[in-house]
């Protein structure tokens, strides 16, 4: 019979090896797990059921089960003729079937444990594209992160328990939940940023790969990867850290956080500066056909609060008697 042949194709030594593998003991015959096919498992379960009714509320009659199985196997000509051999074979068969069931349960247990470990150490990635910004992410500790365009934030799902650590590529604004016993650390390429509870902005995508941090509230420490240099930043300060140098200065750009707030204010800034701001906030390019245009300074009558990009271009053109044309995401400005 096919099911019995499948069970008997393994030697007693191989069944012992399977048992030792299941119990975690070292064994050279680890390829047995690969040879133990799904068909073997199914056939073994069928024979296990023939040993007696598997009812947790009913006591199993082991002697009766042996007799039933022996009678079935004898009828198929699979049993030796002596009583001594009969008892030995029945015990061997029972051991093999029981070992297989344990193996199946063991493999299932190992699968569950492995998956639980995967879940506990699962890495979470949140990313924005070139056309996305202001994506808000709430971390498991309640901290809030707002991602700019082309930004990726990564963290482990169990990071609260094993340390509040995240990895940032791009630009993001952080509002960190205070926890003096569990500092918040950002791995930012050339440097790491450590805080307890504060609000600040981090850029890792500068052309020279320097990490730039602007502190809005609280206190922030920026450290190079070697741990040999660090900067302590107070509110209003910007710190930069590269592989070669580190520095800090007071932020004088009132539009530094405009990518997040959408509010632009100009009080005598060069159009060259204005166009750079528009690129950062709106992801658009403004090209002046005449370089002299860039030398003009612009003052607005109050904040430009989340105005459409084309509205801002029209305001600039009205202020300096310019005309514009648009090619995709590029605006061309020229003198009338």
Token output for 50: 């023939």
- The domain at 262-335 falls in which architecture? 3-Layer(bab) Sandwich (3.55)
Token output for 275: 């166009």
* Beta-carbon contacts of residue 305 (< 8 Å; ≥ 6 apart): 262, 263
Instruction: Give one DSSP letter per residue of 240-307, joined into a string.
Output: EE-SS-EEEEE---TTTTHHHH-EE--EEEEHHHHHHHHHHHH--EEEESSGGGGG-EEE-SS-EES-
pLDDT tens readout for residues 321-333? 999 999 988 999 9
Task: Give the number of other CB atoms < 10 A from CB of residue 63.
Answer: 8
Distance from C-alpha of 152 to C-alpha of 128, rounded to nearest angstrom: 7
Residues across the chain:
336
Distance from C-alpha of 158 to C-alpha of 117, rounded to nearest angstrom: 11
Q: Output b/e per residue, 144-166; b: 16+ Cβ within 10 A.
A: ebbbbbbbebebbeebbeeebbb
More confident residue, 305 or 57: 305
Token output for 208: 């020279």
Distance from C-alpha of 240 to C-alpha of 238, rounded to nearest angstrom: 7
- Per the prediction, the chain carries an average pLDDT of 77
**H or E element: which one contains 233?**
strand 230-233
pTM of the model: 0.65
Winning range, highest mean pLDDT, from 9-23, 68-82, 192-206: 192-206
pLDDT tens readout for residues 234-262? 999 999 998 888 999 999 999 999 999 99
Task: Give the number of other CB atoms < 10 A from CB of residue 89.
Answer: 16
Phi-psi region of 117 (alpha: psi -120 to 50; beta: other; left: phi over 0): alpha
Distance from C-alpha of 187 to C-alpha of 203, rounded to nearest angstrom: 11
Pairing state of beta strands 237-241 and 246-250? Answer: antiparallel
- Give residue 51's pLDDT band: very low, low, confident or very high (50, 70, 90): very low
Report DSSP state, residue 2: H
Does the pLDDT at position 71 exceed 70? no
User: What does the H/E/C string look like for 135-153?
Assistant: EEEECCCCCEEEECCCCEE
Q: Average pLDDT of 211-235?
A: 94
Task: Give the number of other CB atoms < 10 A from CB of residue 240.
Answer: 20
Does domain 123-250 fall under CATH 3.40.50.300? My reply is no
Does the pLDDT at position 194 exceed 60? yes
Residue spans of the domains in the chain: they are: 2-120, 123-250, 262-335
């Amino acid at each position: 019979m096919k099911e019995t042949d499948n069970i008997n194709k393994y030697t007693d030594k191989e069944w012992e090896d399977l048992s030792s593998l299941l119990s975690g003991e070292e064994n050279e015959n680890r390829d047995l797990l690969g040879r133990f096919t799904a068909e073997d498992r199914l056939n073994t379960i069928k024979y296990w059921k023939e040993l007696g009714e598997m009812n947790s509320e009913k006591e199993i009659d082991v002697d009766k089960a042996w007799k039933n199985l022996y009678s079935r196997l004898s009828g198929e000509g699979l049993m030796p003729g002596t009583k001594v051999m009969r008892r030995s074979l029945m015990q061997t068969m029972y051991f093999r079937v029981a070992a297989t069931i344990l193996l199946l349960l063991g493999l299932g247990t190992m699968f569950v444990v492995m998956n639980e470990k995967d879940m506990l150490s699962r890495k979470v990635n949140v990313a924005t594209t070139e056309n996305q910004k202001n994506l808000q992410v709430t971390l498991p500790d309640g901290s809030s992160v707002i991602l700019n365009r082309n930004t990726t934030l990564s963290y482990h799902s169990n990071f609260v328990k094993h340390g509040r650590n995240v990895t940032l590529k791009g630009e993001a604004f952080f509002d960190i939940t205070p926890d003096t016993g569990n500092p918040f650390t950002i791995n930012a390429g050339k440097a790491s940023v450590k805080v307890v509870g504060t609000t600040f902005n981090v850029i890792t995508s500068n052309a020279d790969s320097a990490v730039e941090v602007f502190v809005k509230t609280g206190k922030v420490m920026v450290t190079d990867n070697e741990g040999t240099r660090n900067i302590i930043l107070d509110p209003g300060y910007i710190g930069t850290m590269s592989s070669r140098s580190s520095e800090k200065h007071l932020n004088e750009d009132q539009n530094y956080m405009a990518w997040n707030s959408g509010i632009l204010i100009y009080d005598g800034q060069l159009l060259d500066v204005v166009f750079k701001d528009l690129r950062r906030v709106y992801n658009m390019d403004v090209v002046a056909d005449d370089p002299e245009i860039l030398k003009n300074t612009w003052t607005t009558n109050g904040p430009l609060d989340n105005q459409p990009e084309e509205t801002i271009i029209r305001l600039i053109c009205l202020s300096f008697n310019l005309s514009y044309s648009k090619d995709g995401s590029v605006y061309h400005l020229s003198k009338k």
